[in-house]
Structure 1
Amino acid sequence: NLEEVEVKFARECAFADPVGQPGHALNTNIAETISFRNEVLEFLFTALRQDEKVKSLTIKNLQDYMDKSVFESEDFKAVRNELSKLHLQITTEHDQDVPEYSILDSSCHQGFRRDRPDTWLKLLTNQLTCLTLYGTECFWGVWPLVDFRQVPAFPYLKSLSLGKFTIAHEWQVDWVLSHRPTLEELILDDCPIVTALTIWNDAADANFPGL
């Protein structure tokens, strides 16, 4: 009676642009390519759908941007619909030579800003009792922006763990506190509270549109 599943990928990943073309110049010697990761997840969700008893899913080093077909499959949707515990650690491509520019990759922003909320969070609000969201390399929340104002509170959430989550807005705190009626455990791991920011124009426009 399998109820909990954990999958761990390598930390290192290769960039893919929004149309799904692998092979960005930052990292060319990557063992676990986009195609490999997609194939593993496809096999995983196909197998788990047969069981129909998995309630807890952990994916470590899930790549920021993944092929949509994996998460639009009926196998994935069937597995997701049974989950009550979700633990995701998101990895991003890291530029060894110019690490400060890693944050500019479009895949990073698409993965955090759109794919995680739309593929996972918004569709699980009435199911989850435990939620873990971590960044492997990347601090997230501000840039790449994850707008929790677009994610309803989880009415049954008992445990919330956030790692490398950058806090710079009152609405971020408000979203966490919205779970007070049910929350029994809150873990903020390596989550900086920002009092001053120097950011690119795109980041400023996204975070502070009124400026």
Structure 2
Amino acid sequence: MDSKSPVAFGSLPLEIVDEIFSALPTAPLLNLRLVNRQLGAIATAWAFRHVRLGARQGCYDHQHFVWIAQSEKLRPLVREITCDTWLGHTAKYCDQFAFNHPAEFLNALPLIRCFHNLTSLHLRFSEHTKHEHIDAMDTETDNFRYRVLDTVFHCLAGTWSAENQLEMDEKVLPYSFEAEYVMAPAEVSELGPIPIKELTVSNLADYHDERFTESEVFKKVISSSSLRDLKMSITLQEVEKDHDGEFQPADALWFREKYVMFESLPRTWLSPSVAGNLRVLSLYSRDYWGWNPKMDFRAIRPGSGPDSGFPNLKVLALGKYIFSHEWQIEWIESLGQMNASGGLEELYLDRCPILVQARHDAPADYGTTIVGRDSDGNSVEVSNEGYYQMDAILEDDLFEPYMTYEDYPLRWHHIFPRWRESMKALKVFKMGHSSWRSAPEQTMDLPIATSK
């Protein structure tokens, strides 16, 4: 280091001070802004690097968010935003009271378009959800979630307008929300799209909402070449109880929308253009998934070449994913063939069991499915053996005629030696039980580690 280099805190170079400040919470950073001009600049950059917009009742996040968005000096410093729709412990989600849409949150949300240096965006919904056609008055509804997602993605795409937002709100939130959008500075409207690198969606509803996933704004943002890090967790629809507090019959647990949602992931959130860009993928669910509801990773950029699956992926984290078939082991081995290491570098398995035996309440599926075309244009056909017939399992009167049991031979002591030999680029392998709950941005810290 040159003796004439600027220093702070006595003999510490400013680069070291910057590293120290990066580990400090917001409160001391705000105090350090008052020390001197040099330290003030560093402290300010870190103090406003991450801002939060919350909907919790009695919380004033929205005022802080609006103030920063309208500040010409502060908004360029923001690199990370968390939008949390949780209304707080006192909110009425699961009783006779109606869901109260957070007006201040919804009116401030369009100001995301002010932060054009944004690199990371975290959307965190409530764990509680119901679909509109099931008397969804007391939880976050599909219409509310659709409104939030559509607004955020229009901001990221640079296509938000007050006229379109008002039309949306009058359509999906009638009589339950008064639109008073906070206006952004005039220069913001001319800045265009925001190319974020990281997107987190916590508690995405187990519902395939075509209004959003088939929209042009969704496809534009999710397919952006800048998006390299995608973390998602999926929550479950609330199950109604009768007047005695008992759960309704079993058919209330088998909503077709959930199965359609998992089945559609390879062409929506994990479409070929998305999968080709990702370096980090975290995919969690509040309940077990993979076998039932079925999620076939072979449908994501199908084929066997180096550009199939997730060719550039470096980090994979799965939560409550069920292993049942040999192809799943082969699929993980094939990830990241086109990244700098030639394979997956980090693998996290959080509460991911192996299926040993399953009871089929519907006929087994011995057919095949064409999951798409490979890079050469050839159809890719995969076997469905070991799975159930989805249409049959969702029908009534299916339990007695088709009650069968099936054993699955896959075991961990078969998998680990194989991965030791085949996954030469793997540097971190952790499996166990984390406390992630519903925030997938926290899914990279499992307490139990098994290295190769």
Q: TM-score range by the shorter chain?
A: 0.7 to 0.9
| Change beyond 3 A, Cα 1:207–1:143 | farther
Q: Give me the whole-angstrom Cα distance separating, in 2, the residues matched to 1:193 and 1:209.
A: 14
Q: Secondary structure at the match of 2:199?
A: strand
Does structure 1 retain, via aligned residues, the 8 Å contact 2:291–2:387?
no
Mapping of residues 111-126 of structure 1, within 5 Å:
111-114=261-264, 116-123=265-272, 124-126=274-276
Which residue is 1:42 aligned to?
150
1:172 equivalent to 2:328? Answer: yes
1:110: how far off? 0.7
1:30: how far off? 3.1
Which residue is 2:371 aligned to?
none
| TM-score normalized by the length of structure 1 | 0.85
| TM-score normalized by the length of structure 2 | 0.42
Q: Secondary structure at the match of 1:23?
A: helix
Which residue is 1:61 aligned to?
203
1:109 equivalent to 2:255? Answer: no
Q: Give me the whole-angstrom Cα distance separating, in 2, the residues matched to 1:145 and 1:24.
A: 23
Which residue is 2:350 aligned to?
189
Which residue is 1:208 aligned to?
386
| Change beyond 3 A, Cα 1:43–1:193 | same
Which residues of structure 2 form unaligned runs of 5+?
A: 1-116, 159-192, 242-246, 302-308, 337-341, 366-383, 389-405, 407-452
Q: Secondary structure at the match of 1:47?
A: helix
Return the match for 1:73 from 188, 212, 215.
Answer: 215
Which residues of structure 1 form unaligned runs of 5+?
A: 16-21
Mapping of residues 152-163 of structure 1, within 5 Å:
152=301, 153-163=309-319
Return the match for 1:144 from 284, 293, 298.
Answer: 293
Return the match for 1:92 from 207, 220, 236.
Answer: 236
Which residue is 2:120 aligned to?
4
Does 1 or 2 have the higher relative contact order (CA < 8 Å, sep 6+)?
1
Q: Give me the whole-angstrom Cα distance separating, in 1, the residues matched to 2:291 and 2:285.
A: 13
Superposed CA RMSD: 2.3
Q: Give me the whole-angstrom Cα distance separating, in 1, the residues matched to 2:118 and 2:249.
A: 40
Which residue is 1:132 aligned to?
282
| Change beyond 3 A, Cα 1:100–1:55 | farther
Q: How many residues align?
A: 200
Structure 1 stretches of 4+ moved >2 Å: 28-31, 98-103, 204-211
Give the fraction of aligned pairs with identical amino acids, expressed as a percent.
Answer: 35
* Greater gyration radius: 2
Does structure 2 retain, via aligned residues, the 8 Å contact 1:145–1:207?
no
Q: Give me the whole-angstrom Cα distance separating, in 2, the residues matched to 1:200 and 1:68.
A: 29
